[in-house]
């Protein structure tokens, strides 16, 4: 049984651990060096474009549901666990050779669990990457969010363009 697991996509969970570790270490660096909610204390990396800040996000993407009274922490935690289970199941069903699909799944798991840690430990997610495009300000995000976005992108590329099972099913649907 043990040898069979190494033939599945579960070996890609190493990417999940790397994302979680990078996320944790960068957030600890921010907490230690950048004052929370203080624009004056932020670090301007590229003037009028990119800075490092320290904000607490009590919601999800774009601070969705941040103004609620705490139930959203449980809600987003359950979603993170469910998505992680779905991705881990996908990796288990995949062969080790399915690089793009497994890497996508692993990045999603690492990002979801990185933000889950924050929600459980603090009741909010620490965000610190802050971009401005002219007059448009993009909401701050973190390494875990980057992992999730990159993972979803890879998973979509695989499912839409590379998954031979989906192509065969769509070809047969028209017959």
The Cβ of residue 153 has, within 10 Å, a number of other Cβ atoms equal to 13
145 among known catalytic residues: yes
Closest CA to 20 of 115, 100, 153: 115
User: Of the listed 38, 127, 130, 171, which one is catalytic?
Assistant: 127
127 among known catalytic residues: yes
- Cα distances from 151 to residues 8, 12, 15, 40, 55, in angstroms, run 18, 12, 11, 34, 24
Six-digit token string for 139: 């909401």
User: Of the listed 23, 118, 130, 145, which one is catalytic?
Assistant: 145
The Cβ-side half-sphere exposure at 104, using a 13 Å CA radius, reads 15
User: Known catalytic residues?
Assistant: 127, 145
């Amino acid at each position: 049984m043990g040898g069979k697991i190494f033939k599945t996509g579960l070996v890609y969970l190493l990417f999940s651990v790397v994302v979680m570790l990078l996320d944790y270490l960068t957030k600890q660096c921010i907490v230690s060096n950048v004052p929370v909610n203080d624009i004056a204390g932020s670090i301007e990396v590229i003037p009028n474009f990119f800075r490092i800040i320290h904000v607490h996000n009590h919601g999800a993407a774009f601070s969705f549901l941040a103004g609620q009274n705490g139930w959203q922490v449980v809600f987003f935690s359950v979603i993170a666990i469910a998505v992680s289970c779905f991705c881990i199941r996908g990796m288990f069903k995949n062969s080790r050779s399915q690089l793009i699909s497994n890497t996508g799944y692993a990045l999603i798991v690492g990002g979801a669990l990185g933000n889950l840690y924050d929600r459980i430990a603090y009741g909010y997610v620490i965000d610190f990457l802050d971009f401005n495009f002219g007059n448009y300000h993009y909401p701050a995000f973190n390494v875990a969010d980057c992992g999730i976005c990159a993972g979803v992108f890879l998973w979509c590329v695989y499912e839409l363009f590379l998954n031979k099972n989906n192509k065969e099913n769509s070809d047969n649907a028209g017959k």
